[in-house]
Amino acid sequence: MKNVIVIQIITALCISFGCSNAQSMASKKHLIVYLSRTNNTKAIAEIIQRNVGGTLVPLELEKPYPENYQQTVQQVVTENEIGYLPPLKTKIDSIEKYDLVFLGFPTWDMQMPPPMKSFLHQSNLSGKTVIPFNTNAGYGVGSGFQTVKELCAHSKILEGFETKGGVEKDGVYFVIKDKRAKEAETEVRKWLQKIKVLE
Residues 51, 116, 92, 24, CA torsion sign = positive
CA 106 – CA 35 distance, rounded (Å): 7
The closest alpha carbon to 175, from 2, 36, 30, belongs to 36
Task: Give the largest Cα separation in the chain, rounded.
Answer: 75
Contact between residue 61 and residue 55 where contact means Cβ atoms under 8 Å apart: no
Mean pLDDT per 10-residue section of the chain, whose length is 199 residues: 42 40 65 97 98 97 95 96 97 94 97 98 97 96 98 98 94 93 97 96
Alpha-carbon span 95 to 90, nearest angstrom = 12
DSSP 50-81: HHH--EEEE--BSSPPPSSHHHHHHHHHHHHH
CA distances from 28 to 1, 11, 80 (A): 37, 21, 34
Give the pLDDT score at 191: 98
Q: Which pLDDT belongs to residue 25? A: 57
pLDDT digit string, tens, across residues 68-102: 999 999 999 999 999 999 999 999 989 999 999 99
Q: Which domains does the chain have, with CATH numbers?
A: 21-194 (3.40.50.360)
* pLDDT at res. 169: 87
Distance (Å, whole) CA 148 – CA 125 = 11
User: What's the Cα-to-Cα distance from 178 to each of 91, 174, 183, 184, 185, rounded to whole Å?
Assistant: 32, 11, 9, 10, 11
**Quick one: which of 182, 160, 180 has its CA closest to 172?**
180
